[in-house]
């Protein structure tokens, strides 16, 4: 069985990982963890969407990428323990 599980830093996604470990421990052949970022986070205080050429947008994207990778790494460790 292949499973796709969306994760973030919420309690609910951690519960989902625990459930996967408990319910599908012996039948899962592939588990894909997906971390999504709300694009509204990239908007400035005035609600405008930043333009690609504006300074800082690349830095924000890199920080979001790093934060997402941190969440995925933590979740991957949790699921290794659960499975």
Cβ–Cβ < 8 Å for 37, 8: no
pLDDT digits (tens, 9 = 90+) for 59-79: 777 878 888 888 888 888 888
β-bridge partners, 30: 2
pLDDT digits (tens, 9 = 90+) for 33-63: 888 766 666 665 445 555 555 556 777 778 7
For residue 30, what is the DSSP state? Answer: E
**pTM of this prediction exceeds 0.85:** no
Given a cut of 60, is residue 22 above it in pLDDT?
yes
pLDDT of the residue at 46: 47
């Amino acid at each position: 069985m292949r499973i796709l599980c969306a994760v973030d830093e919420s309690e609910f996604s951690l519960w989902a990982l625990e459930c996967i470990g408990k319910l599908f421990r012996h039948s899962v052949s592939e588990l894909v963890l997906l971390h999504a970022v709300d694009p509204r986070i990239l908007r400035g205080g005035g609600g405008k969407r930043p333009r690609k050429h504006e300074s800082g947008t690349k830095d924000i994207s890199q920080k979001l990428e790093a934060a997402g990778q941190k969440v995925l790494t933590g979740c991957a460790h949790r699921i290794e323990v659960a499975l």
